[in-house]
Structure 1
């Protein structure tokens, strides 16, 4: 063991050897700092590239970013493409960075959106999530059944949904639906529309097999249209929320969608008794009751959306399982159906602002 006088303990740290060691340490520390800073910058840049969608598209959605076509992707995420120019052709596609839950059905109107999310179980359930302008959850309603249809009024005040309680297709004769309406302003909730007073041919109608689906709202947020099915027939009904009554308008109208100018109903009409192609898209003029078949000749099982008073959008299943694409077609029967957004469904046109 060395003594206190040992030169190794009495040599000054500022001696020639000590000074050289200190300088070396300063150089090493400086070099390490530069290296770490450089790596940090590189990491930050690379992270930004990883989190930002390709093409510099925004990663966060807002209903204020319009005019735009909003939809759900095949993966259940929410996304949009800008309008104009042509929808889906050169438009900037934006996708939500994160979704609180996958949406199986989606629709937006005004500053409100609704996401219907499936909750697996026995029996299956649906969570109807009401979203604000920035697609943040405001309220949710738990429902029995499988997600099917969703609608929001143009003002964003009224929200409606339909779930399959039994069955999963309108092609089957053994299905049952349940539709509900929520007033987001007052909080008033109607979980089951089957309590409404219905008039068929001017007379009060009663039947235990009544089903409602495909609600669509008028501009006044009080009047609405929907499909009613009973005893093997389907009807377009016009309803009044304040009076909580409805009357039949026309037979063989399913999944109605009211035009922005409130003059026409787009719907799917049953044109065959069964098979793989039972429906054809039509537009009904509410003043003249004249029906116009659309240029889309395929069978479409969807509640179409009006992007404006001239254009309709809807989803058609793809060849791959659980895949679909959004198509558009003129509402006057002219032109042709055009592929607009591949890998997407649940279209809704949002004006923004």
Structure 2
């Protein structure tokens, strides 16, 4: 019986050439199709209307995280307070969460390399100086005092959602001039006038009063969230009311807005404004679940971020709603997130 037929070197070459040509053709077709798709996707993207930072820097403005799905996704942007839907000035900083006050810009960011790292940086937009402050986990909440002297950061150190029951957070307040930081868990917590030290306590979502001493914050323990009021000089935090998260003080300091939990399992929250003097709560005319620390546009209107729907889920938008429970919500800034008003 004869053995298998042996091909000559020339025959082998002749056999390989057609296969190689097929492979090369397939690669060329793939490249051309991919390029066509990219060209179509690029042409389909809206053109972002921009302006130089000098046109709005120093003037009343709203600072946001740009979420238009294009090359500038995630960058910090500024729009004029009197023209929020108009052109935006893009900064070079890319942030997961941003806040601004005076000439300071607080940027919480993630670097998703082989090992994900996190950073919190306060940039002075006038001098270009940068101050690093503590951030030990994934970015969650960011706040500055009105004069830009204090910064507060909240990060998830375990879990990744306030809707979960097993998350853990770390909230730190930093005095930028001295770079001295205070972990809120090191302060004394009082509930009903009695000092307590629950091992499961978590703090998140600071909002500062104008005196750079008092603040409001969420504290959770025993499965219940509380609105709490703290003071840095005394190192004391007192609970105020229950079922309140992510507070935000009005510019005049008379009201505090926060989210109240609806269905805990589904993570639904409704926006509420509380009169500080009377404790009266008013539910706002926003029926969607808002998982955000809201911002005050002025003393009568609230800003907050909501994700888009369907294929536009990544393109979050900033909405506005009256703070008196009347009216209805409307979109203020498209393709934006994490608003901060600099008056």
TM-score (norm 2): 0.80
Q: What is the deviation of 1:54?
A: 6.7
TM-aligned CA distance change 1:177 to 1:122, over 3 Å: farther
Task: Please list the CA deviations of residues 177-208 of structure 1 after superposition, one character each: whole Å capped at 9, or x if unmatched.
Answer: 10011111332212x21111000010001111
Query: For the residues of structure 1 that align with 2:136 and 2:166, how far apart are their CA atoms?
Result: 17
Q: 2:197 maps to which residue? A: 206
Q: Does 1:93 align with 2:91?
A: no
Query: For the residues of structure 2 that align with 1:294 and 1:105, how far apart are their CA atoms?
Result: 24
Aligned Cα RMSD in Å? 2.0
Query: For the residues of structure 2 that align with 1:332 and 1:56, how far apart are their CA atoms?
Result: 34
Q: What is the deviation of 1:56?
A: 6.7
Matching residue within 242, 247, 250 for 1:251? 242
TM-aligned CA distance change 1:329 to 1:176, over 3 Å: same
Q: State which structure, 1 or 2, has the greater radius of gyration over its C-alpha atoms.
A: 1
User: Secondary structure of the equivalent of 2:298?
Assistant: coil
Task: Please list the CA deviations of residues 55-77 of structure 1 after superposition, one character each: whole Å capped at 9, or x if unmatched.
Answer: 6721568741x211110112111
Query: May I ask how many residue pairs the two structures share in their alignment?
Result: 290
Q: Does 1:271 align with 2:262?
A: yes
Query: For the residues of structure 2 that align with 1:254 and 1:189, how far apart are their CA atoms?
Result: 23
User: Secondary structure of the equivalent of 2:185?
Assistant: helix
Matching residue within 273, 280, 301 for 1:283? 273
Q: Is the 8 A contact 1:315 1:346 kept in 2?
A: yes
Query: For the residues of structure 1 that align with 2:301 and 2:106, how far apart are their CA atoms?
Result: 22
Q: What is the deviation of 1:271?
A: 2.1
Query: For the residues of structure 2 that align with 1:279 and 1:135, how far apart are their CA atoms?
Result: 40
Matching residue within 25, 47, 57 for 2:51? 57
Q: Is the 8 A contact 1:160 1:181 kept in 2?
A: yes
Q: Is the 8 A contact 1:63 1:350 kept in 2?
A: no
Q: What is the deviation of 1:244?
A: 0.9
Q: 2:307 maps to which residue? A: 317
Q: 1:168 maps to which residue? A: 160
Q: 1:69 maps to which residue? A: 62
Q: 2:4 maps to which residue? A: none
Q: Is the 8 A contact 1:113 1:135 kept in 2?
A: no
Q: 2:77 maps to which residue? A: 79
Q: Is the 8 A contact 1:62 1:135 kept in 2?
A: no
- Any gaps of 5 or more consecutive residues in structure 2? 1-46, 68-72
Matching residue within 173, 188, 191 for 1:197? 188
Matching residue within 290, 293, 298 for 1:303? 293
- Any gaps of 5 or more consecutive residues in structure 1? 1-52
